């Protein structure tokens, strides 16, 4: 019975990590989309904006298609999205 309880505890931890990772990715994508849509600036080309918005859309679709993915998979997707979006976000916040 103790082993069973430990298994459930480990499952709970993994589930919590997965949910936290998923929420982080969703929140990041939403923030980027809102920032890009609200910023009216000649700092960014349409190509830059479209690239970032396409990556955000891809991330949302990936989450839909991979609902049982692990926290590590979601974190890897987050890193992939950040690699595309971060340069534009930094550029936006620099003035």
pTM (2 decimals)? 0.86
Instruction: Provide DSSP, 14-79.
Output: HHHHHHHHHHHHHHHHHHHHHHHHH---TTS-HHHHHHHHHHHHHHHHHHHHTTT--HHHHHHHHH
Kindly report the CATH number that applies to the domain delimited by 2-93. Answer: 1.20.1270.10
**pLDDT band for position 42 (50/70/90)?**
low
53-75 pLDDT, tens per residue? Answer: 999 999 999 999 999 999 999 99
Q: What is the per-residue pLDDT for 92?
A: 81
Residues 41-53 have a mean pLDDT of 85
Q: What is the per-residue pLDDT for 40?
A: 60
């Amino acid at each position: 019975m103790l082993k069973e309880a430990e298994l459930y505890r480990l499952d709970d931890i993994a589930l919590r990590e997965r949910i936290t990772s998923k929420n982080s990715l969703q929140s990041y994508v939403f923030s980027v989309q809102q920032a890009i849509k609200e910023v009216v600036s000649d700092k960014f080309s349409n190509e830059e904006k479209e690239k970032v918005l396409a990556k955000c859309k891809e991330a949302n679709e990936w989450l839909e298609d991979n609902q049982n993915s692990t926290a590590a998979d979601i974190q890897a997707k987050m890193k992939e999205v950040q690699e595309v979006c971060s340069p534009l976000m930094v550029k936006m916040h620099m003035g």
